[in-house]
Amino acid sequence: MDGALPTPPDEAVTLELLGRIQGGDREAWDEVWRRHHDQLLLTIRSRLGSGLRAHLESADVFQSVALDAFRAVDRFEYRGKGSLVHFLNKLVLNKIRDRADHFGAAKRAGGTALTDTMLAAVPAPGSGAPAAYLDPRYERLERAIAALPEDLREVLLLRRIEGLPSAEVAEMLGRTDAAIRKSLSRAVARLTLLLGEADQA
């Protein structure tokens, strides 16, 4: 992965751990989750937006997604490099969308506040504080990604954080594959500059 972004966990090790999980090894699950904790938390915090953040803490979503991933791990099929990251990120984003839809329905009906509606359905809620990154580099990375122009930020998130292939991102955004690759190069270069400026501050 580009130097501006932390190196993802070794997939061969993660796949070996997944085999142990499917055999009932809970300790292996804890290790998988530790290995992917920061990247998934980055996805959550990058996708929540200020509106949802005002009502739903990342820690609560994160714990709920962890349980969903554990329940769904038997459905995971290895389809090449990056497929596990994409699988886990898809769970994260689907859960966020579910909560956003739930919030929108409650708001239109003039009903229950988001905190009551959403958090009542979240297993084992946390302390109420946002989840913290294990690797402090991710805190800086989150701020730098937020500072990118919207079009570059979206390409970076889809390609490098959420693990989607370039051709799929191009189809999603209605652009050519070549244009997506060019935008990604610009996004990484801009991100590297922002992170360098943060180091000098």
pLDDT digits (tens, 9 = 90+) for 34-45: 888 888 888 888
Report, as an integer, the average pLDDT of 141-167.
Answer: 93
Q: Grade residue 125 by pLDDT with cuts at 50, 70 and 90.
A: very low
**Is the backbone of residue 49 left (phi > 0), alpha (psi -120 to 50) or beta?**
left
Please give the residue that has the higher pLDDT: either 49 or 47.
47
Q: How confident is the model at residue 121 (pLDDT cuts 50, 70, 90)?
A: very low
Q: How far apart are CA 127 and CA 113, in angstroms?
A: 19
Is the per-residue pLDDT at 174 higher than 90?
A: yes
**The pTM is what?**
0.76
pLDDT tier, 186 (very low <50, low <70, confident <90, very high otherwise): very high
Q: Where, residue-wise, is CATH 1.10.10.10 in the chain?
A: 136-201
Does the pLDDT value for residue 197 go beyond 70?
yes
Predicted local confidence at residue 28, as pLDDT: 86
Q: Start-end ranges of CATH 1.10.1740.10 in the chain? A: 1-133
Report the chain's mean pLDDT, rounded to a whole number: 78
pLDDT at 180 over 90: yes
At residue 103, the pLDDT reads 58
Q: Is 41 exposed, middle or buried (0-12, 13-18, 19+ CB in 10 A)?
A: buried
In tens, the pLDDT along 89-101 reads 888 878 777 777 7
**Range 136-201 has CATH code 1.10.10.10:** yes
Half-sphere exposure of 87 (CA within 13 A, CB side): 23
Question: Is residue 150 exposed (0-12), middle (13-18) or buried (19+ Cβ within 10 Å)?
Answer: exposed
| Domain 1-133: CATH architecture, name and number where available | Orthogonal Bundle (1.10)
Rounded to an integer, what distance in angstroms lies between the CA atom of residue 153 and that of residue 128? Answer: 28
